[in-house]
Structure 1
Amino acid sequence: MTNSLTQNNAADTEKTSPTTNHPIATLTSFQKRILAVLAQEARYGLASGHRRQTLDILATDGPLTPTTIGDETGLDITHVSRVLSDLQGSGLATILNPDARKGRLYDATSKGTEIADVAAEVDG
């Protein structure tokens, strides 16, 4: 009987051990990256299709002008400018020539590129 109780207590301890049974501890590194991207998307509002699409284009084809982004996405230039401003504010995009009045070039930051790359892997 003592053996049975000792075994049950050991099993209960193992089940509740924070290092072995915490849900995050059982995830693969890829699954952890997926969670990180989802958290970033939620944090930076990338659930918005326009922000996500713009970031994807900048990460793969950048640097680009707002006009080119508008042509590739079908978005109005005013909306592209708003999205670029949001992405800049979130640290996901940067303007390469801020003093230019025309032909400003935008590109994804390293953080923006990483998020776009992992999101693309997740999307398959």
Structure 2
Amino acid sequence: MDEKELYRKLGFVKVSPYRTNTLKSIGNEIKMPSEIGKELDVRTSQVSAALSDLKQEKLVVCVNEEMRKGRLYKCTQMGLEVLKYL
């Protein structure tokens, strides 16, 4: 990822406290939306919306997409790169 793209994605994350905190919460771990919500003290629906945005930007990935419940998310390499600047 070039520097311009990194800064674009960084701005995308920083503009929303939910996206910022969700990305920070996941870090190097694999987490469910409910775990993130409890940790951040926000509703799971807000976490899910943030995860959807982050997934669209390829900053997180769902590792078990086929599951309806108990989905697990982790940061992509690009997500970890952005995380260094948060």
TM-score bucket (shorter structure) = 0.7 to 0.9
**What is the aligned length?**
84
Q: Normalising by the residue count of structure 2, what TM-score does the alignment of the two structures yield?
A: 0.85
Counting only pairs closer than 5 Å after superposition, residues 79-94 of structure 1 correspond to structure 2 as 79-94=46-61
8 Å CA contact 2:9–2:57 kept in 1: the answer is: no
Q: Greater relative contact order (Cα 8 A, min sep 6): structure 1 or 2?
A: 2
1:59 aligns with 2:14: no
| Percent pairwise identity | 30
1:40 aligns with 2:17: no
CA RMSD of aligned residues (A): 1.8
Runs of 4+ in 1 over 6 A off after TM superposition: none
Q: Normalising by the residue count of structure 1, what TM-score does the alignment of the two structures yield?
A: 0.61
**d(CA) in 1 for partners of 2:83 and 2:8?**
13
Greater helix percent: which structure? 1
Counting only pairs closer than 5 Å after superposition, residues 1-124 of structure 1 correspond to structure 2 as 37-42=6-11, 44-60=12-28, 62-117=29-84, 119-120=85-86
* Structure 1 gap segments, 5+ residues each: 1-32
Larger Rg: 1
* Structure 2 gap segments, 5+ residues each: none
How far residue 46 of structure 1 moved from its aligned partner, in angstroms, is 2.8
